[in-house]
Structure 1
Amino acid sequence: MESKLVFCENDEMMLLPLYATTIGFWEHQVQTAREAGFPDYQMHQILEGKGELIVGDKRYIVGPGEVFFLYPDIPHEYTPISREWKLAWISFNGREAAQMLLYAGIRESGPGKLRSEAFLEPLREMLLLPDDNELGVNLERSKLLFALLLDLKQRLLPATNHEDEMERIRPVLRYIELHLHQPLVLKDMAEVIKVSPQYLCRLFQRTVRERPVTYINKQRINRSKQLMFSIRGKKIYEIAQEAGFENVSYFCAVFKKVTGMKPEEFKRLHGLD
């Protein structure tokens, strides 16, 4: 593939929740420094060679099997450190762009490690499309962009410390699943992996991004939905008790907070009365 740069932004595409603005491929990426950042989100995949990425006071060496993300208006610089540095990239924007990255676990500018060095297929397909700015081609680019970002969750390896912490907390998550119908005490959960309750709370925040009580309540609400579907005719207070809620009023309040509706409304909506 030869070096190319495709501009694909137009007014109609900006109405979409996610759209590409530029797509490109460089047979040799030259030094790029942007003191004021770039106006759109960017994702670069390194195909050959190595380079240095600088974001703020952080420096990274990136090579094949890696990508790096740049958030809008964040000062950055990247430069080759090998004789050749092949990159493919896409710039994109839209009201859902940040949420799609967040879904993939990307929260800031920086590198990520892929599970394979293979060219990301949606990005490759975008580069093979005609280079014009015609609406039909731009719509196809947006479809491929959505697929690209949606797949990133599976394509990216988690950071080592995050993976280690997830493994450490898994016994606690299994313990919660087995004891949802019983009172769950923070001290007892912490004892499962021999840590303090305070440390367990921090571990929850770093791994599942929620406080233990929030996570437990959501799991209990999921259990209550299963009970509504599997055992028809149960009273709301019976469902609340079997899902692990001692107080039916608290169950109803949590159910509405999580689902946006009362338990009775949920049952009617799904024909479970």
Structure 2
Amino acid sequence: MNTMPIYFRNTPVTEPFTFDSIGNNWIQDQMNRPKGYPKYHYLQTEKGRGILKVQGKKYTLNPHEGLLIAPFIPHFYYSSDTSWQTTFITFTGTIESSISQLLDNRQIIFVEKELGIQLGAIISQMVENYETHPEDSLSISMDCYRILMHLSNGIHTQDLMKEPLYQRYVAPVIREIERHYDQNLTVQSLSRQVYITPQYLSRLFQKFLGCSTYEYLTTYRINKAKEYLMLHQRMEVQEIAGKTGFLDTSHFIAMFRKQTGVTPLEFRKIN
């Protein structure tokens, strides 16, 4: 296996999102792009430390910290350590033009360590999967979408983490949902974990995220169900319901239809 894997797309673009280039364990050289890069470009430190200058600002990228840069934004980066090792991905796809809207038209997004660990793991898994199954374009597209959604969510989370009530009550509940969405979570059990009433927790979710705790939990589970439906074509709907925390298949189908307008099987056919 290549110790410094890097791959460039060499087939026609047929998926909504995919990579134009991707790599990890990369010994990063100095790079000066006075006209920017033509794609959305995410660069993250694995080891060492790098300096990135863009739009008059200087960013220090410590391990697991990263920066997403929009197309054609001039930038310059270099190592501030003996060796700077990076992970990176650039994005393309049939709906590439929608990325800016997905990211609130941000030209620069700084990624802190906690999110960077998640993104680095996804990119590393993508590289490993591409080495063994380069034809699996659907899985690649889903992973690219996951990265973009993490970046989109990270925009709002960075601002919200400045809010004491969000940090104390809402953020721990979101982490619990992300880790254990497949288990028998309820608004009551989640609120007990942060020692407040279910009603107050839902008011906080509504204030900061625009939805109730139950709506957030259900939406997260439905999004996970979409991944199962697309990536595991032979998995039964009943099994997907169980894997995403729904105890009753009929309830799962009803909630899925309410959120998406179609049944799980119709969603699978469409996609």
Range of TM-score over shorter length = 0.5 to 0.7
Of the structure 1 ranges 94-103 and 70-79, higher mean CA displacement relative to structure 2 is found in: 94-103
- What is the total number of aligned residue pairs between the two structures? 184
Q: Secondary structure at the match of 1:111?
A: strand
The amino acid across from 2:5 in the alignment is K
TM-score (norm 1): 0.53
Rounded to whole Å, the distance in 2 between the matches of 1:105 and 1:114 is 21
Shift in Å, 1:117: 6.1
Rounded to whole Å, the distance in 2 between the matches of 1:156 and 1:46 is 19
**Which 5+ residue runs of structure 1 have no aligned equivalent?**
181-203, 209-214, 223-265
Change (3 A) 1:106 1:125: farther
Q: Does 1:3 align with 2:12?
A: no
Superposed, 1:4-23 pairs within 5 Å as 4-11=5-12, 13=13, 15-23=14-22
Shift in Å, 1:16: 2.6
TM-score (norm 2): 0.53
The amino acid across from 2:89 in the alignment is I
Q: What residue in structure 2 maps to residue 197 of structure 1?
A: none
The amino acid across from 1:146 in the alignment is Y
Change (3 A) 1:133 1:111: same
Q: What residue in structure 2 maps to residue 144 of structure 1?
A: 143
Compare CA radii of gyration and give the structure with the larger one: 1
Superposed, 1:2-81 pairs within 5 Å as 2-11=3-12, 13=13, 15-81=14-80
Higher relative helix content: 2
The answer on whether the counterparts of 1:5 and 1:22 sit within 8 Å (CA) in structure 2 is yes
Change (3 A) 1:67 1:103: same
Rounded to whole Å, the distance in 1 between the matches of 2:29 and 2:116 is 21
Rounded to whole Å, the distance in 2 between the matches of 1:35 and 1:103 is 26
**Which 5+ residue runs of structure 2 have no aligned equivalent?**
169-199, 216-257, 262-271
Rounded to whole Å, the distance in 2 between the matches of 1:106 and 1:165 is 23
The answer on whether the counterparts of 1:46 and 1:66 sit within 8 Å (CA) in structure 2 is yes
Percent identity (aligned): 21
Change (3 A) 1:53 1:106: farther
The amino acid across from 2:123 in the alignment is L
